[in-house]
Amino acid sequence: MSPFAPVRRRVHHSLAAGVPLALVGVLTAAGAAAAAPSGGVSVTRTATLGDIPLGAFSNALLPGTVDDDRGVDLGGIGSDIYPAGRKGEFWTVTDRGPNGQIKVDGKKRRTFPVPGFDPAIVKVRVSGHRIEVLDAIALTTSSGEPVTGLPNQAGRDEAPYSFDAGTQLSYDPNGLDTEGVVRAGDGSFWLVDEYGPSLVHVSARGKVLTRYVPKGLGLTGAGYPVVEALPSVFLHRKINRGFEGLAQLPDGDLVMALQSPLSLPDADAGNASRTTRLLRFSPAKQAVTAEYAYRFDPVNVVDPGEDDPSELKTSSVVAVGRNRLLVEERTDRRARLRLVKLERDADILGGPWDDDKTSPSLEQLDDPAASGVPVLTGRLLADLGPVAAVPGKIEGIARVGDDSLALMNDNDFGMTDGPDAFDAQGRLVDSGTETTVTYVRLRHRI
């Protein structure tokens, strides 16, 4: 029996109770005509996800978890995209759910309008100009309880607040801000998380098997095994900028990418830095086996007109060979793709750069290579910025051919920041940004 059969039964049962038919894939069609080539990149097709009420989606998987979705639709599934085997089918993953920021007394508060939302792995199919939801797997603890998207630890993570920033919510040590996803040969999944930052092993049915976190994190109270197996220096991750990209190499090893440079020794150094880090993890050894430094191009090269290096991020890494990776570097508006090679002599694991007392830190070096630090190098494969039909905030990339990619954006559940994100009745004022899959053809083979 398919591991998704229980989900299908719940979905169809909910349909009988009046859940919109869109929940199982009969979605609003919307698409864009193929764009003219730009810089060697051409858009061949765009597919759009229709409106699926978030409460109906969540309660079909874990009944009673969402009592009020405040008018929010399913979104955020563009946090990553991974081929599911059949042409046009992909595994995707939501992030922690709808969230925003509202300034109160001069300080920003992180809001969670649907605090009962449970992150989920979502299987989709691109059919013409539609994205159809085929199945969904809710993430749960060892006992089957929901894994929410709420922050884990006071003093380390942002405090969670209600939709209007008026009431502080409880922290949740089980909470995950999931991002990258790959599927292993045994049917289980691997995810990365921004809070820990973490690498998370999940069963085919969504149960968290193990969460690997940095040494010294001291996370207690979780309803699943937590193992401190990652370098302690990753405790210095910038808030909301933990692990974002995840790739699975042909030998089964995993490569996880830190979204932004570490705040080492402090936030100012991290915000000014152009050097982020990748980790290689062996599931067989259950251990990190290598660490790499990745150097962003200057921010005004990635996004002309932008001058703030803290806007640089990497959101997706894709294995394209035994030791080659496609790495996305982006701002919220534009993205570029580079091919890099994971050379053995580029490994910095266990060296001075993993000691947070090293001064200057890796993040503070103006030119790491000139200082003797091996840096991943590669060639620019594509600049997606000039391609008008490619949306902003691309977070998921999948290879679908020798010269073709599927790109997926994170639409942030249609949310915006600020007090006007919700109307006087507490219902979402939707941003209008849709979840899309955009197919592109490149000038060169990957």
Q: Tens digit of pLDDT for each residue in 17-61?
A: 333 333 444 333 334 334 445 568 999 999 999 999 999 999 999
Mean pLDDT of 259-284: 98
Per residue in 382-416, pLDDT (tens digit) is 999 999 899 999 999 999 999 999 999 999 999 99
Mean pLDDT of 124-144: 98
pLDDT in the model for residue 35: 45
Q: Quick one: which of 347, 441, 354, 349 has its CA closest to 402? A: 441
Report residue 145's pLDDT band, with 50, 70 and 90 as the boundaries. Answer: very high
**Is the predicted pLDDT of residue 1 greater than 90, yes or no?**
no
Helix (H) or strand (E) holding 300: helix 299-302
Which of 20-29, 182-191, 267-276, 299-308 shows the lowest per-residue confidence on average (mean pLDDT)? 20-29
Q: 3-state DSSP call for residue 3?
A: coil
pLDDT in the model for residue 274: 97
For residue 392, what are the contacts with CB-CB under 8 A and spacing of at least 6? 332, 333, 334, 409
Q: Rounded to an integer, what distance in angstroms lies between the CA atom of residue 135 and that of residue 128?
A: 19
* Percent of the chain scoring above 70 in pLDDT: 91
> Which residue intervals of 37-193 are DSSP H helices?
54-61
* More confidently predicted of 63 and 17: 63
**Is the predicted pLDDT of residue 417 greater than 60, yes or no?**
yes
Q: Rounded to an integer, what distance in angstroms lies between the CA atom of residue 376 and that of residue 221?
A: 38
Concatenate the DSSP letters of all residues of 117-130 into one string.
Answer: ---EEEEEEEETTE
**Is the predicted pLDDT of residue 9 greater than 90, yes or no?**
no
pLDDT in the model for residue 40: 83
Mean of per-residue pLDDT scores for the chain:
92
Token readout for 411 is 């639409």
Burial class (CB in 10 A: 0-12, 13-18, 19+), 154: exposed
How big is the CA angle at 28 (ends 27 and 29), to the nearest 5 degrees?
110
**Is the predicted pLDDT of residue 11 greater than 60, yes or no?**
no
Which of 13-22, 186-195, 235-244, 270-279 shows the lowest per-residue confidence on average (mean pLDDT)? 13-22
Q: Mind listing the domains of the chain with CATH numbers? A: 5-441 (2.120.10)
Which pTM value belongs to this model? 0.92
Per residue in 359-377, pLDDT (tens digit) is 999 999 999 999 999 999 7
